[in-house]
């Protein structure tokens, strides 16, 4: 609850004889209804009774009625009633208006984050590993989802005051570099590597794979090149280092277009030696079992259950993906001493992470329970003009192109200074909202038409609302914003917006609990619909100055909260469109 309304806590805590902090999660703002006027806050009687665990309790509705009868209205609460298992409070309308608008304007980007729901939240150190493409291989839709979801989680944690370390864990080691080293010596061009490293390395990789399939000597020299890498051969390593450095340089540039950055570009290559240490540690604890094939495994079930066997070493003694993940986790704990580490990858890796966390545990690392995997579903059918998604840049170019075409067909986009940049920002909002509307675990079929439809609940609609509200401020801002009379905002459209603004902290809290962006998405879409209705009915032009000023304040508050929510989701709001 916003500070101005903490009187409700005090009122209840006196009558119920409970400390006010026990009531924080039992009281919530009432969701806005299109059909009728609703109260502002409700107390869930269920959650109160959970506190006292008395199972012989009478009917909850009776309890709610009794409680409502004991409560008296005051200068803050103007009406008390009961609903389904709730006690409802209506706030003095002028106070509601004044307090909400003041709080939104004063708190700015911190609005909703200063709520009691987050008070006493310890500041933590959180590592988020996301995006993590493989050098020289496709940057597929799974990497794209990981990038935008990981960015959202990092933004949200940061907004809540935690210290966040964003890590991109590149696939920058392994047999593919044997192929790539050999392939570059056969088909590589220095100038192409300089000008477009990601594309050129990908082309070389595809070509050398074809050759290796037909020609045994190519496959053999690829194996030899990788062995030289593993043994630390200076020439092989310097070529590998250039592939890696140039790729990262290009990734940084493309991520910037997406509005994403990383604190650390790590990679599997960092853990070549350290994974050998992991194997020694597993052996010293008697957990390493050799198989007939010469590989080494860990049996997590302890009774030979084949589904619980995890391979950690190849027969030639080299490490695998799982071993490197173990080494990386241990290294990060040493380096950052994190409170939580979150891995954002598709749900296909669920078992892999369960096994990694379990292995850390049996190796004696109690902090394994601080590690968390946030899985997401599969997107089918995303294609660009160049076919299947191969490079992130293709997706961004496709978004920009489609959005520019859309904007050209609407006649209001002539005066934009930088139409490409606007198109990209609006298009990215469309892509992100489409992706974040459902549960992250759900699979969905991708459709460009659905992403860019002009009507309905889309990212285009959020950007349009933000730009429209911004232009209101530009048009009328200087004259009216100085003073306003709260009594002028009593229309149902204004009250609905104010009631919706009251709920922002709860929505942030929900998303912070389950790391699902959909709560924020649906909140912002509702806010935009309410703003659209209000924009039609609450005229600013030709209204008396104090009415115009009050309405302008309301729209400014909406734009501020809309912008805050969009930024958390990883969207850059546009001011013209």
Which residues are known catalytic residues?
Answer: 137, 140, 143
Q: What is the DSSP letter of 314?
A: -
Phi, psi (degrees; rounded to nearest 5) at 325: -65, -35
Where is 125: in which H helix or E strand?
Answer: strand 125-129
Measured distance CA(389)–CA(419) in Å, rounded: 25
Nearest to 517 by CA among 380, 374, 399, 342: 374
Measured distance CA(135)–CA(170) in Å, rounded: 7
Tokens of 504: 């922002």
Q: How many CB atoms lie within 10 A of CB 19?
A: 9
Mention every residue, 6+ apart, whose C-beta is less than 8 A from residue 283.
none
Pairing mode, strands 163-170 and 371-376 = unpaired
C-alpha triplet 535, 554, 107: angle, nearest 5°: 140
Measured distance CA(76)–CA(190) in Å, rounded: 73
Coil, strand or helix: which one is 313?
A: strand
Strands (E), 397-532: 444-445
Pairing mode, strands 125-129 and 163-170 = parallel
């Amino acid at each position: 609850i916003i500070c101005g309304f903490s009187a409700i806590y005090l009122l209840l805590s006196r009558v119920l004889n409970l400390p006010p902090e026990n009531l924080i999660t039992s009281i919530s703002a009432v969701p806005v209804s299109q059909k009728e006027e609703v109260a502002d806050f409700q107390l869930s009687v269920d959650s109160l009774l959970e506190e006292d665990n008395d199972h012989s309790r009478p009917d909850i509705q009776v309890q709610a009625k009794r409680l409502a009868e004991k409560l008296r209205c005051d200068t803050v609460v103007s009406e008390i009633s009961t609903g389904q298992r709730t006690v409802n409070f209506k706030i003095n309308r002028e106070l509601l208006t004044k307090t909400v608008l003041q709080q939104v304007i004063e708190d700015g980007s911190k609005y909703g984050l200063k709520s009691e729901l987050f008070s006493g939240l310890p500041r933590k150190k959180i590592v988020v590993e996301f995006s993590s493409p493989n050098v020289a291989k496709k940057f597929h839709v799974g990497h794209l989802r990981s990038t935008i979801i990981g960015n959202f989680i990092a933004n949200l944690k940061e907004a809540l005051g935690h210290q966040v370390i964003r890590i991109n864990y590149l696939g920058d080691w392994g047999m593919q570099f044997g192929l790539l080293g050999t392939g570059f010596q056969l088909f590589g061009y220095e100038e192409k590597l300089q000008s477009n490293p990601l594309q050129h390395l990908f082309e070389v990789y595809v070509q050398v794979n074809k050759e290796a399939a037909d020609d045994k000597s190519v496959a053999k020299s690829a194996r030899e090149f990788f062995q030289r890498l593993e043994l630390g051969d200076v020439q092989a390593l310097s070529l590998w280092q250039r592939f890696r450095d140039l790729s990262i340089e290009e990734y940084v540039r493309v991520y910037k277009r997406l509005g994403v950055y990383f604190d650390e570009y790590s990679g599997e290559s960092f853990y070549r030696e350290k994974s050998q240490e992991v194997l020694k540690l597993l052996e010293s604890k008697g957990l390493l079992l050799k198989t007939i094939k010469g590989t080494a495994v860990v049996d997590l079930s302890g009774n030979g259950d084949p589904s619980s066997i995890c391979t950690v070493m190849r027969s030639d003694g080299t490490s695998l993906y799982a071993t490197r993940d173990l080494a990386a986790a241990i290294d990060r704990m040493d380096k950052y001493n994190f409170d939580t580490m979150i891995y954002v990858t598709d749900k296909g890796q669920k078992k892999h992470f369960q096994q990694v966390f379990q292995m850390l545990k049996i190796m004696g690392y109690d902090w394994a329970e601080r590690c968390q995997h946030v899985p997401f579903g599969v997107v089918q059918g995303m294609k660009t003009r160049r076919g299947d998604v191969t490079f992130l840049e293709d997706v961004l170019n496709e978004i920009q192109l489609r959005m520019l075409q859309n904007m050209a067909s609407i006649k209001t986009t002539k005066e934009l200074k930088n139409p490409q940049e606007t198109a990209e920002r609006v298009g990215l909002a469309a892509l992100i909202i489409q992706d974040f509307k459902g549960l992250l675990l759900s699979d969905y079929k991708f459709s460009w038409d659905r992403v860019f439809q002009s009507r309905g609940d889309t990212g285009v609609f959020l950007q349009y609302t933000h730009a429209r509200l911004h232009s209101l401020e530009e048009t009328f801002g200087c004259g009216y914003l100085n003073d306003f009379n709260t009594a002028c905002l009593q229309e149902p459209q204004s009250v609905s917006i104010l009631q919706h603004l009251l709920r922002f902290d709860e929505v942030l809290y929900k998303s912070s609990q389950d790391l699902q962006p959909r709560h924020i998405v649906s909140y912002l879409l509702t806010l935009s619909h309410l703003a659209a209705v209000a924009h039609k009915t609450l005229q600013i032009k030709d209204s008396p100055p104090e009415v115009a000023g009050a309405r302008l304040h309301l729209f400014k508050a909406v734009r501020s909260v809309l912008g805050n929510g969009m930024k958390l989701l990883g969207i850059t709001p546009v001011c013209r469109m």
